[in-house]
Amino acid sequence: MTLDLIDVRDLVGHPGASKTESLRGTVEALGTELARVPEDLPIGGLLLLESVVEGILVSGAVEGVLQLHCARCLKEFEQVFSVPIYELFVSEPDPDADDYPLDPDGELDPEQMVRDVVGVELPFSPLCEPDCLGLCATCGGDKNLGACPGHQQIDPRWDGLEQLFKQTEH
């Protein structure tokens, strides 16, 4: 399943006409290792579609849920997003412009637009909390859960070895 096409036959060629439509559907394979849009959760948002001389002007917002992994502690968490949209769909897009193509049959495919606007909003380094402490370099434990019990005391069996290291350092 992907995003539903939006029928704009009633708008094409009628500058000044407008209507609102909801985004419906899902997107596949949108995201990075640490931040992605789940393929089984719907994308939403309300769009205002306005017929202009050049084509169809789309404004509004894309909304959904991001599945994130904390860049420090790797914990998985979710975050809702709402990204503003202001894009133009034209029947013959100029390759040098950022416009999107409008299907000659009068259907507007919002998928590429959604991929682009959500793609640039994906956090490069998501954090579960702004002050996440991350993982312990010694034991790999989550430092947000408190002190690591595992290596608070050094295993007595290593005491002798440690003394040896200290001596050889000097």
Residue from 30, 35, 66, 73 in contact with Zn ion (CB under 5 A): 73
Q: Decide: is 148 part of the binding site for Zn ion (CB under 5 A).
A: yes
The single residue listed with the structure tokens 């209507």 is 19
**Shortest Å distance, C-beta 130 to Zn ion:** 10
Q: Decide: is 71 part of the binding site for Zn ion (CB under 5 A).
A: no
The single residue listed with the structure tokens 């050094």 is 154
Longest Cα pair distance anywhere in the chain, in angstroms? 87
Residue from 23, 70, 85, 135 in contact with Zn ion (CB under 5 A): 70
**Shortest Å distance, C-beta 139 to Zn ion:** 3
In order, the DSSP letters of 93-117 are --TTS--EE--TTSEE--HHHHHHH
Residue 161 parent element (H or E): helix 159-169
Q: Decide: is 138 part of the binding site for Zn ion (CB under 5 A).
A: yes
- Rule CB under 5 A: which residues touch Zn ion? 70, 72-73, 128, 132, 136, 138-139, 141, 148
